[in-house]
Structure 1
Amino acid sequence: MPYLANCSMLFTEVPLLERPAAAKAAGFDTVEFWWPWPDQPVPGDADVEAFVTAVQDAGVQLAGLNFFAGDLGGPDCGVLSIPSRSQQFRDNVEVTLGIGERLGTKAFNALYGNRVDDATPGQQDDLGTENLAYAAKAADRLGATVLVEPVSGPKPYPLRTADDAVGVVDRVRATGTANVGFLCDLFHLANNGDDVDAAIANHADRVAHVQIADAPGRGEPGSGDLPLDRWVAELERSGYTGYVGLEYKPTTTTLESLAWLPVERR
């Protein structure tokens, strides 16, 4: 399977707009990004144009892009299920898809959002289903898929296991929107103690994107003790033919951290 570079976590030695070119120089033809403006659901036209131009000029394909999800390095982990921030997500959908339309992007990650005190879990889940269906219907015009991801860490994020994420995918599909899929992040699943082998066996038909990092530490493959090669091979045997996103924190420099991956596989 082909690998791509997540340029929000790799090549951080250079500014964000220089990372597509750095990925290309390292041998990657395809990249993905988190939402580039964590404090702006709707950035200015000049900022959007600079980002699109950076990707185009680098000669790489933007395969994946996150919708606005707030400050992932701070308190946030998505906004779409949070009543007080739901409009930020909706305002962002057309901007994100507009970038994707210009760059041929076919996968858009919609981080769900933390639990909050001013709404019940049921209310948040209803809102999350509604907003994911809204985004998926809008993305359908691009022939694109909206992704739902389990996440690890201390934030009160409710989607922790493959079953959690696939449950959301199925609820959204039940509204009549089929272009919603499971983002199978092997690091997050393992870090949460999920049974990754069972997750692959039970949900391979819903996997729409894969991301990897090793654990402990979230470093490059080989820096921890996860059987990433075996899991990726099992996904491939199960029919997954898409990209594997390298979403890890290099333990040294980005280029040194890529020594495990031959250039011809990038």
Structure 2
Amino acid sequence: MSDGSTSARIALNPIQWMASADGWLDPSLAPAPAERLSLIKQAGFDAVMAEVPADLTVERYQALLDEAGLTLAPGYAVCRSDGRDGKEDDVVASAAALARQHAQLGMTEIGLGLAMGKEAPRVLHPAQAHDADESRVEAVTKLIERICDAMLAEGVRPSLHPHVGTWIETDEEARAVLEALPASRLGFLPDTGHLAWAGADVGALIKDYAERIPFVHVKDCRLSVAAEGREKGWGYQQTVLAGLWAEPGRGELDLTGILGNLPSAFDGWLIVEVDRPDITDPYESAQSSARWMHGTFSSPDRN
């Protein structure tokens, strides 16, 4: 991908429609599924991240996708346990159910990250490896191993997604989990914005684990805002409200350089995420993202 063009496929996780006034995400703010899918297509995307609404069957969701003319990119599972809180069995069962749903949609890959709440320690002290604990990482890794087994039994491989505000946040923590489990059981889902905010060398991580990356979350951000937030002791939400996130090409990350570390033959997904739009209107945010992504990464025969 060093020349910018790629056979990768481009998709959107439409969370800019969910950005709330307090610097968080509120799914209830998004348009109804049929309208949302139509807007994504009109904005210039041909694919959307898989996420079946709770009130729809898989069959009805697929029908809405077909009506909108969209295909699916891999979705995302949230692990709501730190591996030692007694919730492990429920988390594994939920992961298996989501993998089964993904398999019904013809998917073989899914992202996997840890949960975060507004009062979580690392949400209050983001991107600082707050309260780092090797034994906790080991417990999380054991739980992720169980989740891998449950998901693989359904024909779907999870990919680790380090995320600011969670117990797998840093370069070191991500590598610890990835080194503990083989690529056949656990892929790697880097998020350019979250890893950069946490101080990782994102390009180096991508290069080191390139062969186990089926898709990437493409997020631009302003590291100057992240640095100010650390200096002033801002929490996650305050940092977001200060202008951390931006549409691809509008922030401070060298996204072409970072993603240039993917293999030249990479044909996975580049999934755009704009947690809080820099362009106020969510639809215009999606349009800007589509224009920049296709202009920067699409091969001449745009998929």
- TM-score bin, normalised by smaller chain: 0.7 to 0.9
Distance change in 2, residues 1:167/1:240 (3 Å): farther
SS at match of 1:222: coil
Q: Determine if contact 2:11/2:271 at 8 Å carries over to the other structure.
A: yes
Residue of structure 1 equivalent to 2:44: 27
Distance change in 2, residues 1:67/1:146 (3 Å): same
Residue of structure 2 equivalent to 1:41: none
Kindly report which structure 2 residues correspond to 1:45-56, keeping only aligned pairs within 5 A, or say none.
46=56, 50-56=60-66
Q: Which moved more, 1:82-91 or 1:240-249?
A: 82-91
Distance change in 2, residues 1:200/1:95 (3 Å): closer
1:244 aligns with 2:270: yes
Q: Alignment partner for residue 232 of structure 1, among 241, 259, 283?
A: 259
Q: Determine if contact 1:211/1:244 at 8 Å carries over to the other structure.
A: yes
Q: CA RMSD in A?
A: 3.2
> Offset at 1:33?
4.3
Distance change in 2, residues 1:136/1:236 (3 Å): same
1:170-215 per-position Cα deviation (integer Å, ceiling 9, x unaligned) = 3232xxx714201011111101111123223322223222111111
- TM-score normalised by structure 2 residue count: 0.66
- TM-score normalised by structure 1 residue count: 0.74
SS at match of 2:143: helix
Kindly report which structure 2 residues correspond to 1:251-266, keeping only aligned pairs within 5 A, or say none.
251-252=278-279, 253-257=281-285, 258-259=287-288, 260-262=292-294, 265=302
Q: Determine if contact 2:43/2:284 at 8 Å carries over to the other structure.
A: no
Q: Determine if contact 1:83/1:124 at 8 Å carries over to the other structure.
A: no
Q: Determine if contact 1:181/1:207 at 8 Å carries over to the other structure.
A: yes
Residue of structure 1 equivalent to 2:227: none
1:227-259 per-position Cα deviation (integer Å, ceiling 9, x unaligned) = 01221223243x532111101132222342233
Kindly report which structure 2 residues correspond to 1:1-266, keeping only aligned pairs within 5 A, or say none.
1-9=8-16, 14-33=31-50, 36=53, 46=56, 50-69=60-79, 78-79=80-81, 81=83, 83-113=85-115, 121=136, 124-125=139-140, 127-139=142-154, 141=155, 144-152=156-164, 155=165, 157-173=166-182, 178-216=184-222, 217-237=244-264, 239-248=265-274, 249-252=276-279, 253-257=281-285, 258-259=287-288, 260-262=292-294, 265=302
Distance change in 2, residues 1:137/1:13 (3 Å): closer
Distance change in 2, residues 1:4/1:165 (3 Å): same
Q: Determine if contact 2:137/2:167 at 8 Å carries over to the other structure.
A: no
Structure number with larger C-alpha Rg? 2
Q: Determine if contact 1:63/1:104 at 8 Å carries over to the other structure.
A: no
Aligned partners of 1:80 and 1:18: how far apart in 2?
Answer: 36
Aligned partners of 1:197 and 1:211: how far apart in 2?
Answer: 13
Distance change in 2, residues 1:49/1:201 (3 Å): closer
1:71-125 per-position Cα deviation (integer Å, ceiling 9, x unaligned) = xxxxxxx4373533223322323431232123222221222346999xx616623
> Offset at 1:262?
4.1
Q: Determine if contact 2:74/2:111 at 8 Å carries over to the other structure.
A: yes
Instruction: Give the fraction of aligned pairs with identical amino acids, expressed as a percent.
Output: 23
Q: Determine if contact 1:8/1:34 at 8 Å carries over to the other structure.
A: no
Where structure 2 has 5 or more consecutive residues not aligned to the other structure, the ranges are: 1-7, 19-28, 122-130, 223-243
Aligned length: 239
> Offset at 1:127?
3.7
Write the letter of the residue equivalent to 2:190: C
Q: Determine if contact 1:34/1:67 at 8 Å carries over to the other structure.
A: no
Q: Determine if contact 2:158/2:185 at 8 Å carries over to the other structure.
A: yes
Where structure 1 has 5 or more consecutive residues not aligned to the other structure, the ranges are: 38-43, 70-77
> Offset at 1:49?
5.3
Per chain length, whose mean CA-contact separation is higher, i.e. which structure has more relative contact order (CA < 8 Å, sep 6+)?
A: 2
